[in-house]
């Protein structure tokens, strides 16, 4: 009987992630991780519309079931591959490699991977991306960075979304920012509202810089 231990799974994943990194070449790959409903797909829709003339972009959509998010991305006119994990709560490097095989990577400046909505295990699985983007909406609560530290430690950028709703929540921004700073001094924290298209410029500037660094 073969028993796979978690350690073995992560080692195999790390090996495949290295292969993916080679495969991705000069394409900037951003792995979006956040809870269901935090606004990952909305952030992507706005980004694809705003930067469509500057960059060749594509999206891998990870969901447990349905093609609902992929349909929204397809409407933006960019290549999209939907991955259904059929119950799986995160994307792996292997499933990412299979999805990426359907894309013309040499023809892309930025590949976004929208991970399965979950603050926990997606952070454990390296997909070969350049950067994890942690997305947290303020309606989820200011305690989430401290409660789910791995994601926020690993993130290259943190998006605090739905900031237009701050007056209707008890989200303590000072407390959240202090926790984020304690976990990760390097990642910029961007306060914005994707749905309202407020505060998106620093996010676009971050993407432009990251894409240019990858090309260099």
**Residues 126, 18 contacting (CB under 8 angstroms):** no
Is 45 a binder of Mg ion (CB under 5 A)?
no
Is 41 a binder of Mg ion (CB under 5 A)?
yes
Nearer to Mg ion, 69 or 154 (CB): 69
Q: Which does 89 bind (CB under 5 to 8 A by kind): Zn ion, Mg ion, none?
A: Zn ion
**What are the distances in angstroms from CA 63 to CA 41, 69, 81, 95, 216?**
11, 8, 11, 12, 33
**Residues 177, 189 contacting (CB under 8 angstroms):** yes
**Residues 164, 196 contacting (CB under 8 angstroms):** yes
Nearer to Mg ion, 39 or 156 (CB): 39
Task: Return the residue nearest Mg ion (CB atom).
Answer: 41
Residues 6+ apart with CB under 8 A from 79: 58, 59, 103, 104
Is 118 a binder of Mg ion (CB under 5 A)?
no
One of 47, 58, 69, 130 touching Mg ion (CB under 5 A): 69
Q: Which does 162 bind (CB under 5 to 8 A by kind): Zn ion, Mg ion, none?
A: none
Nearest in space to 194 (alpha carbons), one of 206, 184, 204:
204
Nearer to Zn ion, 10 or 177 (CB): 10
Residues of this chain that interact with Zn ion (CB under 5 A) are 89-90, 121
Residue 117 Cβ vs Mg ion, minimum distance, rounded to whole Å = 6
Nearest in space to 211 (alpha carbons), one of 72, 25, 9, 18:
25
By the criterion CB under 5 A, which residues form the site for Mg ion?
40-41, 69
């Amino acid at each position: 009987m073969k028993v796979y231990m978690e350690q073995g799974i992560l080692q195999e994943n790390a090996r495949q992630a290295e292969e993916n990194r080679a495969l991705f070449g000069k394409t900037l790959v951003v792995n979006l991780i956040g809870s269901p409903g935090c606004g990952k797909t909305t952030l992507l829709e706005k980004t694809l519309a705003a930067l469509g003339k500057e960059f060749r972009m594509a999206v891998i959509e990870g969901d447990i079931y349905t093609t609902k998010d992929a349909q929204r991305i397809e409407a933006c006119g960019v290549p999209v591959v939907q991955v259904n994990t059929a119950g799986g709560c995160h994307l792996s490097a292997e499933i990412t490699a299979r999805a990426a095989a359907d894309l013309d990577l040499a023809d892309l400046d930025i590949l976004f991977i929208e991970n399965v909505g979950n603050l926990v295990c997606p952070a454990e699985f390296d997909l070969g991306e350049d950067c994890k983007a942690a997305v947290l909406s303020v309606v989820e609560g200011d305690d989430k960075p401290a409660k789910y530290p791995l994601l926020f430690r690993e993130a290259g950028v943190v998006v605090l979304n739905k900031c237009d709703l701050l007056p209707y929540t008890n989200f303590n921004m000072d407390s959240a920012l202090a926790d984020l700073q304690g976990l990760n001094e390097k990642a910029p924290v961007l306060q914005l509202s994707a749905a309202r298209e407020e505060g998106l410029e620093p996010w676009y500037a971050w993407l432009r810089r990251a894409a240019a660094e990858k090309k260099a």
